[in-house]
Chains A and B, each alone.
Chain A
Amino acid sequence: MIKSLEELKRIRDEVKKATKVREGMKGTRIVVGMGTCGISAGAREVMSAVLDELRKRDIDDVVVTQTGCIGFCKYEPLMDVIKPGEEKVTYVNLTPEKARRVVVEHIVNGRVVKEYIVPNL
């Protein structure tokens, strides 16, 4: 790890210097369910897809975290999208492809992907 810490320092300095093109995402969070049920249903792949899609689109101010099982096991893998000032949206039975679509439609374009949500959850 030590050797490439230099590279990490370079990344840090780059990030610090970069002038923000877009401030719109600030405060947006994605929380992926990572309990036993979520993991065995493919939550890791969903999380990786989300991180990859954000990277591809150069979105660097959305925070992606994990949470344990919240008890909706049959809906796993699931994730919450939380935008400041908006109600939390829970997406269920995700695949990496569906998760990428959520990033594009909801995070970037601001439209909830209704097909992937369960009303009243």
Chain B
Amino acid sequence: MRELSMHLMDIIENSIKADADLVIITIEENKAENNLTITVKDDGKGMDKEFLQRVFDPFVTSRTTRRVGLGLPLLKAAAERCGGKVEITSAPNLGTQVKACFQHQHIDRAPMGNLAETLTAVIVGNPKVDFVYTHITPKGRYVLDTRIIKETLDGINISHPKVVEWIKKNIAEGLKKINGGVDE
């Protein structure tokens, strides 16, 4: 995958497949410390210890439509290519946390890609799931919580074009303020 935001979308997809109701996405960036960390935490069905140990093996998957699972192996490769790593913790019935660390300034780090567009697609495309997205840079912190959005909307569909536009703009402007998600 060309961009980290595509990997992000893909690990969120795993959470959704695991029947998560709430997905907590945290991105922490610090160029001076050469750190970029993406964490996705869910309250889905989780994995047991034995499964977890083999989860980076492409032939380990609970899919029935295809015999290989590529999402996590690809993420691991993307992290290791730039001196990073992926850590997963999980417990059956409690949930899963996937934490991917990258060297921010490494020449082989994939670009972030368009986070506003990616998260908007994920939020709108999964109206029954809630998301809390936090982005932290040395300049500050941006938080988007779909539970608050849905409460405010009071029954209006989240995929209403005007709402979609608001979400996208909110993320783009929020990130701009803290200089987040940009690759120069």
Q: Is B157's CB under 8 angstroms from A63's CB? A: yes
Q: Is A60's CB under 8 angstroms from B170's CB? A: no
Q: In whole angstroms, what is the CA distance A4 to B142 when docked?
A: 13
Task: Say yes or no: is A108 at the interface (Cβ < 8 Å to chain B).
Answer: no
Interface-facing stretch out of B48-56, B84-92, B160-168 = B160-168
Q: Is A44's CB under 8 angstroms from B121's CB? A: yes
Task: Say yes or no: is A12 at the interface (Cβ < 8 Å to chain B).
Answer: yes
Interface size on B, residues (CB 8 A): 46
The chain A residue with its CB closest to the CB of B118 is A44
The chain B residue with its CB closest to the CB of A9 is B152
Q: Is B65's CB under 8 angstroms from A55's CB? A: no
Q: Is A1's CB under 8 angstroms from B17's CB? A: no
Q: Is B124's CB under 8 angstroms from A51's CB? A: yes
Q: In whole angstroms, what is the CA distance A11 to B65 when docked?
A: 41
A73: B residues at CB distance < 8 A? 66
Rounded to whole Å, the gap between the CB of A48 and the closest CB of chain B is 5
Q: Is A36's CB under 8 angstroms from B71's CB? A: yes
A51: B residues at CB distance < 8 A? 120-121, 124, 159, 161, 164
Q: Is B161's CB under 8 angstroms from A55's CB? A: yes
Q: In whole angstroms, what is the CA distance A62 to B143 when docked?
A: 28
Per-residue interface assignment for chain A, residues 45 to 70, with 1 indicating a CB less than 8 Å from any chain B CB and 0 otherwise: 00110010011001110111110111
Most chain B beta carbons < 10 A, residue from A11, A39, A65:
A39
Q: Which listed residue (A12, A14, A35, A48) contacts B117, Cβ 8 A?
A: A48
Q: Which listed residue (B9, B152, B160) contacts A34, Cβ 8 A?
A: B9
Chain B residues within CB distance 8 Å of chain A:
1-2, 5-6, 9-10, 13, 16-17, 63, 65-66, 69-71, 74, 117-118, 120-122, 124-127, 142-145, 148-149, 152-154, 156-157, 159-166, 170, 174
The 5 listed contacts between A and B (C-beta, < 8 Å) are: A5-B152, A15-B162, A34-B121, A36-B71, A51-B159
Chain A residues within CB distance 8 Å of chain B:
1, 4-5, 7-9, 11-12, 14-16, 32, 34-37, 39-40, 44, 47-48, 51, 54-55, 58-60, 62-66, 68-71, 73
